[in-house]
Amino acid sequence: MSSIEKQLQETLGLATVRYETNLSKEQLFHEAIANDRGRIVVDGPDDAQKAYPTKLGVDGPLVFYTDPSCTGRPVNDTFGVAWPELDDKVWWKNDFQKFDPDKFEPLLARVAAHLNEKNARLYVQDVYAGSDPEYAVPYRFVGEYATHAMFAHNMFPKNIAGVTDEDEKRWTLLNVPSFHADPERDGTLSKRAVIMDFKSRRVLVVGRADYCGVNKKTMFTVMNYLLPEMGHMSMHCSANVGQGGDGAILFGLSGTGKTTLSADPQRELIGDDEHAWTSIGVSNLEDGCYAKLIDLNKQAEPVIAEALSMPGTLIENVPALPGKKIEDTDPQDFDLTDGSITENTRFSYPLTCNPHVAEGARGPHPKTIVLLTADAFGVLPPVSVLDAREVMYHFVMGFTSKLAGTEVGVTEPKAAFSACFGAPFMAQKPSVYAKLLAQKMGESETHCILLNTGWGGGGYGVGKRISIGDTRNLLDAALRGDLHAADMEYDLHPVFNLKIPRSCPGVEASILNPRNTWADKDAYDTAANKLRDMFRTTFQEKGFASLGIEPVM
């Protein structure tokens, strides 16, 4: 019995299973096509082929189809084991609920018995969460699908030298789509569940929860619990570094420009999604990218477009072309506007597919922090300069807006608030991350701006979106330090109490104060007050004041 087999028998109770351990991506490609079976259409069979090659074969991407009920993270079925000693520390919420400790071990034992009985073939992939050995956590993926093992290979660092006490730090994720939970017996809410056990360093994924992102964001949630315990700041952000060694991090929810704005030919990319800020700088938690494909503009996103034809990459839930087999399709010919399976079509590719990647996916302490928002109400300034109190406030509020028409029943812009710009993944309370951010900023003398990539001159449908050119110029000015220069003059917004620069190179000064861009000033005032009241209501409902966050508007 190998050391891995022995550890998995002791950790998970697996005794009579077969392992395919640390296969190459080429091997996993073939294994996925041959062996990954499950449901891919509603009311379809549970033994359908789930993974396919394209016309390029092993020299191109693997195409994978999830269960139709799980084309995104199953947020309502995501839990943490509520051990009494951890209960007060964890931020429990609708998308991270308590799981009864007395139910967890019996459920895990039933899953192990299920796998042992069927002599299951399991794929094991040993990777790390984190690129810096100071905090990197050994992560062992164990699951029924070779596709998931290939995804882990893509998305996480391998062979990190200098990590000590690996066995004592290792987290193990067991992913078993073929086991369907019984809610009454197992303590789940449905037949599927994603359950994290911070005490024993185990994650259990069961049932129709085979969306690849589960294997990524679950470990991000784990790291958001662990890193603050080490004194490090965990962040849902993109990051890059300039030619002069000036680092920057960009926080933002979907649609705000986090990935696009961090891709800059004049700067090296550290990463586009998950990072840690330690005593020596910023480092990527990952080794890959997991990009949305729906409506991809190949001219605007040439890196993703080129990577679509590269080996070792993974396309998720993009439909086949009518009347054409996937095996006969060139990946460049897929219809990326087709959302018939899901609007959340995805693409996993190694970080090395990006040009200008910072060595080791690491960089210095950030000189500039950018909080991104896309205000579809058209009332926030294009850019505002924030002090330490305002940074904590806007960080825990995590505001952006959803557009009319993006959801059934949404007929006007809708405010969206997600604490720390990633509330579902924040395992500890928001104040933990806000205080760490303020501390790190103070130690590194970091500046911060609120950058609005949304609308001006009116809300969505009336005004127009702030041009990418103006946004780039505002961002570049912030990165150069222009917006924090001693001779910079500011206006104070009367509703939001935000400090607005009066000028910026390359940007018409008239657009910097958003009220100036509205023809109907009274309508602007009404809309601005309405959004401010949404901020105030959300702040009160979330109880942020009791967590030590100061209201600033």
**pLDDT tens digits for 29-61?**
999 999 999 999 999 999 999 999 999 999 999
| CA distances in angstroms from 439 to 233, 392, 443, 546, listed in the order given | 10, 10, 6, 19
259 carries an active-site annotation: yes
Q: Does 236 participate in catalysis according to the annotation?
A: yes
Q: Measuring CA to CA, which residue among 154, 155, 129, 141 is closest to residue 230?
A: 129
Catalytic residue of the set 236, 447, 499, 542: 236
> Of the listed 273, 287, 338, 470, which one is catalytic?
273
Residue 170 annotated as catalytic = no
Give catalytic status of residue 254 as yes or no: yes
* Structural domains of the chain, with CATH: 3-48+71-229 (3.40.449.10), 233-278+365-547 (3.90.228.20), 290-353 (2.170.8.10)
Active-site residue (options: 217, 267, 362, 499) = 217
Please state the length of the chain.
Answer: 553
Q: Which one of the listed residues 50, 208, 346, 367 is annotated catalytic? A: 346
Half-sphere exposure of 262 (CA within 13 A, CB side): 29
93 part of the active site: no
Cα-Cα-Cα-Cα dihedral sign, residues 515, 518, 521, 523: negative
- Is the Cβ–Cβ distance between 399 and 416 less than 8 Å? yes
Closest CA to 273 of 252, 302, 294, 246: 252
Q: Which amino acid makes up residue 506?
A: G
Confidence at residue 406, expressed as pLDDT on a 0 to 100 scale: 41
Catalytic residue among 254, 337, 340, 406: 254
Which residue in 25, 258, 394, 402 is the catalytic one? Answer: 258
Cα pseudo-dihedral 136, 25, 220, 552, rounded to 10: 110
- Please, what is the Cα angle at 381 between 415 and 271, to 5 degrees? 75
pLDDT at 408: 40
pLDDT for the residue numbered 260: 84
pLDDT given at position 306: 96
What DSSP string describes 406-428? SSTT--S-EEEE-GGG-GGG--B
What is the three-class DSSP state of 73? Answer: coil
Judged by DSSP in three states, 458 sits in coil
Catalytic residue status for 217? yes
Active-site entry in 11, 259, 373, 538: 259
- For this structure, is 16 an active site residue? no
Kindly give the pairing relationship between strand 455-456 and strand 464-465: antiparallel
Candidates 50, 73, 267, 440; catalytic one: 73
Please list the alpha-helical segments (H only) found in 343-467: 388-397, 430-444
Is 24 an active-site residue?
A: no
Which regions of the chain are under pLDDT 50? 404-410
